[in-house]
Chains A and B, each alone.
Chain A
Amino acid sequence: MASVGLRHIHKSYGALQVVHDVSLSVDDGEFIALVGPSGCGKSTLLRMIAGLEDITGGEIMIGGTVVNAMTPRERNIAMVFQSYALYPHMTVGENMGFNLKLAGVSKPEIAVRVGEAARMLALEDLLERKPAQLSGGQRQRVAMGRAIVRDPAVFLFDEPLSNLDAKLRVQMRTEIKALHQKVATTSIYVTHDQIEAMTLADRIVVLNAGRIEQVGTPMQLYKTPANLFVAGFIGSPAMNLFEGTVDGEGDSPVVRLAEGAAIAISTQRKVRRGQSVKVGLRPEHLSARGNGISGRTLLVEPTGAQTHVLFEFAGQQMTAVVDGDHPARHGTEFQAGIDHNLVYVFDRESGERL
């Protein structure tokens, strides 16, 4: 196990800069998730940590040692790839023991370590099979087995679940979490799926256009997003955002929205009268009972335990998450209550949370 440190990492492809001055510290044994939309640089960052991609500037440290000039092998990391990248001509056992063979570990020792990893991942009966004879979930487990068998300092996961169907993804997510709790190896996990990041990670790094937007625990990101991007990215369904202008100060600040609508905000928000802002409301923070806001119901999406209701408000669509048996119907008036303490306010120009 080892800590990982990134210091002022830059990456450019010719004139195109894709990673801008990223600094990050991952503690020993911590599980960090890098999330962000496609093209935000999260996979590039992971590949730079792995040594599969050169860095243009900065320093990468693993276990306190600068590893910029080291090969992937010398960095003592293990990586699980999106496509699993199992060697198709080798059996499961050979795949798992390949890195040990290259390291010159004796055959009996390889057999013992592969056996242990196989037991941990319930792969004992599959050791003689080739990857083509395995299901997606089994291949995923072999890929993880290949990573843990060498007892690396750091695990790197590059969207390892994105090729699996929804049910298997949830199952494998649980297995990855259980595995991390068992081996407690420092892990860096790249995903574009915020649910994966929220459920797995000790801390989440939100990336956008090659820059870190915010680093924090899942609940910190959810409750106190640093800016509009994080607020819009974390949470499902996404936060409702409305443009408006602050009116009233002191004890009763409100934000005036389009079409004469207004939303009261907490007195804790550091706003000034006339300031152009964006107001954020999480769909699950709108209560079904109350007379805070109302609008014509546009769409009702029952998901079982909850129902998503899309209704018109201030010339836009707003989503509310209500109880599964809420009687909302298309075309009827939908009324929702708002707790003004749960209304987020962002500066419209800088995007920062106020």
Chain B
Amino acid sequence: MTETSSSVRISTGTRIYLYLSLSLVAAIVLVPLVTTALGGFKTLGDLRLNPFGLPDEWVWSNYLDILFGDRYWRQMMNSLIIACMTVFLTLVVSSMAAFCFAHMRFFGSNQLLNYFLIGLMFPAATAILPLFIRIRDLGLLDSYWGVILPQVAFGLGMSILLFRNYFRNLPEELFQAAFVDGCGYIRFFWYISLPLSRPIVATVGIVTFVSSWNSYILPLIMLNTESKYPWPLGIMVYRGEFGTDWQLVLAFITLTILPTIIVFFLAQKHIIAGLTAGAVKS
């Protein structure tokens, strides 16, 4: 009998179809990644003549020059500072707001929730000009906060939705037991809801981190000083300096993608658990 996670038997035809489909999807994801990583080992000439194959000669210096240069690490720190602060603020604000929406009924609560959810429909880029003016008026241009605060604001819709759904799926009797034990809303949030919500904290944290990590437009508009640039803007700088030296750009991109992939593999269990939480009754 076929061994699967469920007891459903899969026919050979279905199995071939599944493997072919999954192989195709994997190829679509992997080919650009592998091509980029390999491109970083090539010379510019090799890259132009043979963009998809293995390098004729493995040029390690492309990677080593970037790794031993000052700019890569400085920009990584900028990216880390911006992403970590964005994640921290998003988790704090959205978990608390979502808790209120999940457990409290107050005048206009539904309308307020809908107001936050409307934010899902507007990427930051669509509001870039008024955002720029507002950030300038607040005196936050060319500072990390000029990037962090808009990222938090535009991420709130999705984060609140994920947290709220998770909180609502916690058993009602836990809430009641905690109240009988002496919890108020704040203590219930801190002692019960939050510790039980690690999967969704991980999910929101990682989604927010990756979104901030890959953010290009906001830092481009808000930051002027090169020493404050995060990694995505660093690519632009490399392109400007090396003209058509695409092999260095590809090496740089590979090195910037690597931490995200490592984090994903380490935390994929939590990410998937968080995204599917509440789908079935446990």
A-side interface residues toward B, CB under 8 Å? 47, 50-52, 71-73, 77-79, 81-83, 85-89, 98-99, 102-103, 146
- Report the minimal beta-carbon distance from B56 to chain A, rounded to whole angstroms: 56
How many residues in B have their beta carbons less than 8 Å from beta carbons of A? Answer: 17
A-B interface, 10 closest residue pairs, ranked by CB to CB distance from nearest = A85-B177, A99-B181, A102-B182, A73-B182, A85-B173, A72-B180, A89-B195, A81-B173, A79-B180, A72-B179
- In the complex, are the beta carbons of A73 and B174 less than 8 A apart? no
List 12 A-B residue pairs with CB atoms under 8 Å apart, sorted by A's residue number: A72-B182, A73-B179, A73-B180, A73-B182, A79-B180, A81-B173, A82-B173, A85-B174, A87-B177, A102-B181, A102-B187, A103-B182
Which of B174, B176, B191, B196 is close to A79, meaning CB atoms less than 8 Å apart? B176
Closest partner residue, chain A, to B170 (CB atom)? A88
- Report the minimal beta-carbon distance from A345 to chain B, rounded to whole angstroms: 44
Q: Does B59 contact A (CB under 8 A)?
A: no
Which of A47, A73, A88, A89 is close to B181, meaning CB atoms less than 8 Å apart? A73
- Report the minimal beta-carbon distance from A175 to chain B, rounded to whole angstroms: 20
CB-CB under 8 A from B195, the residues of chain A are: 89
- In the complex, are the beta carbons of B181 and A52 less than 8 A apart? no
CB-CB under 8 A from A98, the residues of chain B are: 181, 191
Contacts beyond the supplied A79-B176, A79-B177, A85-B176: 11 A-B pairs with Cβ under 8 Å: A52-B179, A72-B182, A73-B181, A85-B174, A86-B177, A87-B178, A87-B196, A89-B195, A102-B181, A102-B187, A146-B181
Closest partner residue, chain A, to B187 (CB atom)? A102
CB-CB under 8 A from A85, the residues of chain B are: 171, 173-174, 176-177
The CA-CA distance from A88 to B180 in the complex, in Å, is 17
CB-CB under 8 A from A79, the residues of chain B are: 176-177, 180
Closest partner residue, chain A, to B181 (CB atom)? A99
Q: Does B221 contact A (CB under 8 A)?
A: no
Which of B182, B184, B196 is close to A99, meaning CB atoms less than 8 Å apart? B182
The CA-CA distance from A78 to B178 in the complex, in Å, is 11
Q: Does B183 contact A (CB under 8 A)?
A: yes
B-side interface residues toward A, CB under 8 Å? 171, 173-174, 176-184, 187, 191-192, 195-196
The CA-CA distance from A329 to B21 in the complex, in Å, is 66
The CA-CA distance from A85 to B174 in the complex, in Å, is 5
- In the complex, are the beta carbons of B183 and A102 less than 8 A apart? yes
- In the complex, are the beta carbons of B187 and A88 less than 8 A apart? no
The CA-CA distance from A99 to B171 in the complex, in Å, is 19
- In the complex, are the beta carbons of A81 and B187 less than 8 A apart? no
**Chain A CB within 10 A, most for which of B173, B177, B179, B183:** B177
Which of A78, A83, A89, A102 is close to B171, meaning CB atoms less than 8 Å apart? A83
- Report the minimal beta-carbon distance from A89 to chain B, rounded to whole angstroms: 5
Closest partner residue, chain B, to A156 (CB atom)? B180
The CA-CA distance from A77 to B181 in the complex, in Å, is 9
CB-CB under 8 A from B173, the residues of chain A are: 81-83, 85
Which of A47, A50, A77, A87 is close to B174, meaning CB atoms less than 8 Å apart? A87
- In the complex, are the beta carbons of B180 and A89 less than 8 A apart? no
CB-CB under 8 A from A47, the residues of chain B are: 176
CB-CB under 8 A from A78, the residues of chain B are: 180
- In the complex, are the beta carbons of A50 and B182 less than 8 A apart? no
CB-CB under 8 A from A82, the residues of chain B are: 173
The CA-CA distance from A77 to B179 in the complex, in Å, is 11
CB-CB under 8 A from B184, the residues of chain A are: 71
The CA-CA distance from A86 to B177 in the complex, in Å, is 8
CB-CB under 8 A from B180, the residues of chain A are: 50-52, 72-73, 77-79, 99
CB-CB under 8 A from B176, the residues of chain A are: 47, 50, 52, 72, 79, 81, 85
The CA-CA distance from A147 to B178 in the complex, in Å, is 12
Closest partner residue, chain B, to A79 (CB atom)? B180
The CA-CA distance from A73 to B188 in the complex, in Å, is 13
- Report the minimal beta-carbon distance from A125 to chain B, rounded to whole angstroms: 24
CB-CB under 8 A from B191, the residues of chain A are: 98, 102
- Report the minimal beta-carbon distance from B180 to chain A, rounded to whole angstroms: 4
- Report the minimal beta-carbon distance from B26 to chain A, rounded to whole angstroms: 35
The CA-CA distance from A88 to B282 in the complex, in Å, is 13
- Report the minimal beta-carbon distance from A212 to chain B, rounded to whole angstroms: 24
- Report the minimal beta-carbon distance from A340 to chain B, rounded to whole angstroms: 50
The CA-CA distance from A98 to B195 in the complex, in Å, is 14
- Report the minimal beta-carbon distance from A157 to chain B, rounded to whole angstroms: 12
**Chain A CB within 10 A, most for which of B174, B181, B192:** B181
The CA-CA distance from A131 to B40 in the complex, in Å, is 52
The CA-CA distance from A51 to B184 in the complex, in Å, is 13
- Report the minimal beta-carbon distance from A82 to chain B, rounded to whole angstroms: 7
CB-CB under 8 A from B192, the residues of chain A are: 87
CB-CB under 8 A from B187, the residues of chain A are: 102
CB-CB under 8 A from B181, the residues of chain A are: 73, 98-99, 102, 146
CB-CB under 8 A from A89, the residues of chain B are: 195-196
CB-CB under 8 A from B177, the residues of chain A are: 79, 81, 85-87
CB-CB under 8 A from B174, the residues of chain A are: 85, 87
- Report the minimal beta-carbon distance from A199 to chain B, rounded to whole angstroms: 25
Q: A88 and B196 in contact (CB under 8 A), knowing A79-B177, A83-B171, A102-B187?
A: yes
The CA-CA distance from A102 to B196 in the complex, in Å, is 18
- Report the minimal beta-carbon distance from A72 to chain B, rounded to whole angstroms: 4
The CA-CA distance from A9 to B178 in the complex, in Å, is 25
